[in-house]
Structure 1
Amino acid sequence: MARTPEPDEPQAGAADAARPAARKVTRHRGEGQWAMGHHTPLNSNEQFKKDDDGLNVRTRIETIYSKSGFRSIDPADLRGRMRWWGLYTQRRQGIDGGRTAILEPHELEDEYFMLRVRIDGGQLTVAQLRAIGEASEQYARGTADVTDRQNVQFHWVRIEDVPAIWEKLESVGLSTTEACGDCPRVVIGSPVAGIAADEIIDGSWAIDEINRKYIGNPEYSNLPRKFKTAISGSPLLDVVHEINDIAFVGVVHPEHGPGFDLWVGGGLSTNPKLGVRLGAWVPLADVPDVWAGVIGIFRDYGYRRLRNRARLKFLVADWGPAKFRQVLQDEYLKRELTDGPGPEQPAGRWRDHVGVHPQNDGRFYVGFAPKVGRLNGKLIQQVADLAAEHGSGRVATTVEQKLIVLDVEQDRIDSLVAGLEALDLRVNPSTFRRGTLACTGIEYCKLAIVDTKDRGRTLIEELERRLPEFDEPLSININGCPNACARIQTADIGLKGQLVTDENGQQVEGFQVHLGGSLGFENAAFGRKIRGLKVTSAELPDYVERLLTRYQADRQDDERFAQWALRATEEQLS
């Protein structure tokens, strides 16, 4: 039995030596900030993390739970620590969205798991991709979804099979370590790092070094909430840097050359905030240390009392960028950071790397679009085979739920494209297939209220049929609940799942509509919400068709949809 901690008892562990001395308690009393001397857990999540580090649950999975079955799992492990190894229970089948908010966790969950495979920087060898496909077929009923954070997720995983899945994945260098939980999640990166002809700087070394030094390290495994990282040297700004806890964005310093602009405090969910620049230029060699400093601030000063205020974005908002930078320099880096420029406006119409593009070595990469990230184990293995047959040993995932085959010789491009297209993996997709992404939705997620994957596929097909000539860049992001895993606030058309009332007065699946969100531009912004603007799932194709037709009729010159949506009248957007 876990002992009851004493008031303000220090947290034991390797991190103690690295933390600044506790400061005099001020107005922050009650927020649970370790650096302020508050170590007493203020909620059940903080209690189970203090009782035992989430990383330690792996031994129990391997030696107890996988042998004794689902019902042997301790609840604090089942709904808490197992996330540190990429495991969430999935939604019990047949529970409608109206019951999501009223059922207890044990009533919502099935005796199966989602298992998330972390793919840092989106980089995979063909052998790794093939192993993912094999694990999907053998242990996950063929399921495999590419997420908008470059991961792959399995469903229908039995606890009895988890050790075998780990063995298969780890034999090729893959991992589920800290794929979920209050810890450093996957480090997203440019999927064409090191090969793109227009790249400012290759951040791959920093991603690898962060993984080597810090992922799975108990010093950083107990954070107030999740911690999301983005590192990219692409001028296309291809990693949604504005909505990560920390982001390193490729820039050229006028005196020091290529490096990274440092951003902190981005995040979405029900209280979205865009990240802010600290005005600091970071050379590649310093990225891991600066990353450790920022995550150290989050660990030590982050709010641990209320889960809905425990993300880094709230601390950054309260402190402001100047104070945050000063604390980073004074207490963690022990040196000044170099002032530097912000990123330039990207020139590309799309930032997803779909299509055929030249590499910096004379070869090419080929990006293709599944529908809303939905794949399966057999299809993944077919992609691995195609890549190998065309001389490629590498593939990559993107933050737009797309995939890329790297290192293709020019004379093999046509054959590879034909092979992908034959699998319905489009290298030259419609705007709607290219720009639509969706979260897991009610099919498997315990938080969801509506279906997303099937809804997204149906919407793509309808819009392709109704608006075949529409070719403007457009993002349609579909989320099954308010938590914004599909980045609804930053999409041209963001759809937040909820129950709505139809024309007959019945509650049905539908969406609240957000319009005009955008990232990667000087005027990055969240979409606007118009009071009462909701659509049922059945009405969705009609509504989007009507909206896009009005945009085409009223747009000015090269006006993007987001720009139009922010100036359009409520009547035009209805």
Structure 2
Amino acid sequence: MTSNSTTPNKPTPTGPGRNREAAGAPARRPRPKRGEGQWALGYREPLNANEQFKKDDDALNVRARIENIYALRGFDSIDPSDLSGRFRWWGLYTQRKPGYDGGKTAALEPHELDDRYFMMRVRTDGALLGPEQLRALGSASTEFARDTADITDRQNIQYHWVAVEDVPAIWQRLEAVGLETQEACGDSPRPFLGSPVAGVAADEIIDGSPALREIKQRFIGNPAFSNLPRKFKTALTGHPSHDVAPEVNDVSFVGTVHPEHGPGFDLWVGGGLSTNPMLAQKLGVWIPLDEVADAWEGVAGIFRDYGYRRLRSRARLKFLVADWGVEKFRSILEDEYLDRRLVDCPSPASPRVAGDHVGVHRQKDGAFYVGAAPTVGRVSGTLLSRLGDLVEEYGAQGVRLTAYQKLVVLGVAEDKVDAFVAALDGIGLSARPSNWRKNTMACTGIEFCKLAIVDTKNRAAALVDELERRFPDLDTPITVNVNGCPNACARTQVADIGLKGQLVLDEDGRQVEGFQVHLGGGLGLDPVFGKKLRAHKVTSAGLDDYVTAVVHAFLADREGDETFQDWVLRADDELLRGETDVRTLEGAR
């Protein structure tokens, strides 16, 4: 196990080749060229601002200052390098100051958009939330966050309107039931995605929950991994529906079966979206459950030691994997970090679509799990507390969050399913939602996010309401992902209809909120990034009519059971722009 005593700006020797000086070999002299800031190659200078504040003090140490200084003296006492940097390692970002429209996002310095309140993320890491956890999440929201709560696509609960004076009390409330905000943000191991139905699904290949718990126990809060070049996202699933979006995470473990060794995990690396989207590359290996944490440590170690720290825009693991190639990456992992060869195994087959587990499903033990869909992930503290009461009242096992802003209640007895589904409806959680409500996601947006340009949550919810009215009996799923900026927190590029917020010109030449449109993206069997049409933008006000026109065109022009994604690949641009009269299509057919 890696020691917790290392300094934050120096790699820890946990495998051959990790640290020549610690291993007794002569230290490498820094090379004269600037390089990409790769520690393992001796490139430690010069430092950008983020690398400097991480070198000055391990960001994990800011907790003591929050508890002993800032919470007592208030917002104005916060050191700027803590406020804009280290606070993130404890799940805290300043939220957007009210009254600043999208035109100010790029025009003002980030600190000029800072409000005196915080967004806070609570990590769940695929864990089961019982009544006590749900009520703690709910009460923290109602008492300290104005009853706000969102379920994110990282399986987090996200609060807003948090005052620094209340942060220690929130931590105390959450940590009493085993929840935390540590490294929920920052250049660190971000919250893990785990299968919501791990351990209960009848068709599960392998339950990876023990491996996620071991990774969290060994490495979260460990200074050896608290200073990575950039964010580091982990996903693990043993379910054949690949229900954690493994294609777009930095490191993913995906259930597979070796013909001799049985169930285990393939290893995928280098996925990520934002402005340079890349799909993860598959190593084609078999890793047993009890070696997953070691493999995670090796991948994270490569990222820490060889990752590009010079430019933030190229600091994600995906750039290193793209430059090295998967063969070199595997070789370095085996030779320098694991000190053993990985077992070859063909990568598992991909599902047609990823699993979201919404609806009622029988578990392998005879009970049922019930997946429910809050609209675009927006819930509240009051709702979470009431959900905890329902879990207790109906004797359910607990709740897991999903990678699609949904939740799944496990362990509902067969004779209680119908009553439980009705009770969920009563608090605003539908287990039988429309295709639109089930398949629409949205990021935080301009309401709270300093990077956003447009409104997302409210606009997406209104879009769902309108599409339900216009297409009440849609017979095929069409995913809609709404993002407030180019960073793709809501996975814009891998939705059937991806909407990236930006300012556009309306018919009168006025600058208004709008979206660049991505069409035909998806994960699963046919992973592809959505198609962008040249010079095609949609105003927020015109979004309902645009989506309606495209869906009408798809329904009129599709062939047999053709999916929306397949249709986009062959459809004329006029159809995708929503410019064709559907009656013309129907007449031609």
Structure-2-length-normalised TM-score: 0.94
- Which of 369, 381, 384 is the matching residue for 1:377? 381
Amino acid across the alignment from 2:453: I
Equivalent pair of 1:41/1:47 in contact (CA under 8 Å) = no
- Which of 336, 345, 348 is the matching residue for 1:331? 336
Task: Give 1:423 deviation, angstroms.
Answer: 2.0
Equivalent pair of 2:242/2:354 in contact (CA under 8 Å) = no
Match of 2:570 in 1: 567
Match of 2:304 in 1: 299
Amino acid across the alignment from 2:477: P
Which region of structure 1 is more displaced relative to structure 2, 151-160 or 278-287?
Answer: 278-287
Match of 2:543 in 1: 540
1:557 partnered with 2:560: yes
Match of 2:19 in 1: 20
Equivalent pair of 2:8/2:55 in contact (CA under 8 Å) = yes
Match of 2:166 in 1: 161
Match of 1:266 in 2: 271
CA–CA distance in 2 between the matches of 1:305 and 1:245? 19
Q: What whole-Å deviation, never above 9, does each CA across 1:333-375 have from its counterpart, x for those lacking one?
A: 011000112122326x661100000111110001111100000
CA–CA distance in 1 between the matches of 2:563 and 2:186? 37
Q: What whole-Å deviation, never above 9, does each CA across 1:52-100 have from its counterpart, x for those lacking one?
A: 0010000000000000000100000000001000000000001000010
1:226 partnered with 2:215: no
CA–CA distance in 2 between the matches of 1:321 and 1:54? 31
- Which of 460, 463, 479 is the matching residue for 1:459? 463
How do residues 71-90 of structure 1 correspond to structure 2 at under 5 angstroms?
71-90=76-95
Equivalent pair of 2:130/2:391 in contact (CA under 8 Å) = no
Equivalent pair of 1:354/1:427 in contact (CA under 8 Å) = yes
CA–CA distance in 2 between the matches of 1:477 and 1:166? 32
1:428 partnered with 2:428: no
Amino acid across the alignment from 2:536: L
Equivalent pairs, count: 563
1:120 partnered with 2:128: no
Match of 2:391 in 1: 387
Q: What whole-Å deviation, never above 9, does each CA across 1:163-195 have from its counterpart, x for those lacking one?
A: 000000000000001000000011101001000
- Which of 483, 492, 495 is the matching residue for 1:491? 495
CA–CA distance in 2 between the matches of 1:134 and 1:477? 30
CA–CA distance in 2 between the matches of 1:562 and 1:229? 27
Match of 2:216 in 1: 211
Which region of structure 1 is more displaced relative to structure 2, 31-40 or 226-235?
Answer: 31-40
1:404 partnered with 2:403: no
Task: Give 1:558 deviation, angstroms.
Answer: 1.8
Measured on the aligned residues, the alpha-carbon RMSD in Å equals 1.5
How do residues 466-545 of structure 1 correspond to structure 2 at under 5 angstroms?
466-521=470-525, 523-545=526-548
CA–CA distance in 1 between the matches of 2:12 and 2:159? 33
SS at 1:461's partner residue?
A: helix
Identity score, percent: 63
CA–CA distance in 2 between the matches of 1:104 and 1:237? 40
Task: Give 1:15 deviation, angstroms.
Answer: 2.2
SS at 1:123's partner residue?
A: coil
Cα 1:314–1:274 change in 2 (3 A) is same
CA–CA distance in 2 between the matches of 1:571 and 1:65? 57
Q: What whole-Å deviation, never above 9, does each CA across 1:502-542 have from its counterpart, x for those lacking one?
A: 01110100000000111011x21100111112100111111
SS at 1:101's partner residue?
A: helix
Match of 1:3 in 2: none
Cα 1:51–1:212 change in 2 (3 A) is same
1:246 partnered with 2:251: yes
Match of 2:583 in 1: none
SS at 2:438's partner residue?
A: helix
Stretches of 4+ aligned residues off by more than 4 angstroms: 10-14, 22-28
Cα 1:40–1:25 change in 2 (3 A) is closer
Task: Give 1:26 deviation, angstroms.
Answer: 7.3
CA–CA distance in 1 between the matches of 2:31 and 2:193? 37
SS at 2:192's partner residue?
A: strand
Structure-1-length-normalised TM-score: 0.96
1:99 partnered with 2:104: yes
Which region of structure 1 is more displaced relative to structure 2, 558-567 or 407-416?
Answer: 558-567
Equivalent pair of 1:11/1:39 in contact (CA under 8 Å) = no
Task: Give 1:23 deviation, angstroms.
Answer: 6.1
Match of 2:448 in 1: 444
- Structure 2: gaps of 5 or more residues: 1-6, 21-26, 578-589
- Which of 235, 239, 242 is the matching residue for 1:237? 242
CA–CA distance in 2 between the matches of 1:39 and 1:126? 48
Equivalent pair of 2:272/2:279 in contact (CA under 8 Å) = yes
Task: Give 1:27 deviation, angstroms.
Answer: 10
Equivalent pair of 1:122/1:151 in contact (CA under 8 Å) = no
Amino acid across the alignment from 1:468: P
CA–CA distance in 2 between the matches of 1:302 and 1:152? 29
Task: Give 1:11 deviation, angstroms.
Answer: 6.6
Task: Give 1:14 deviation, angstroms.
Answer: 6.9
- Which of 162, 179, 199 is the matching residue for 1:174? 179
SS at 1:520's partner residue?
A: coil
Cα 1:27–1:483 change in 2 (3 A) is farther
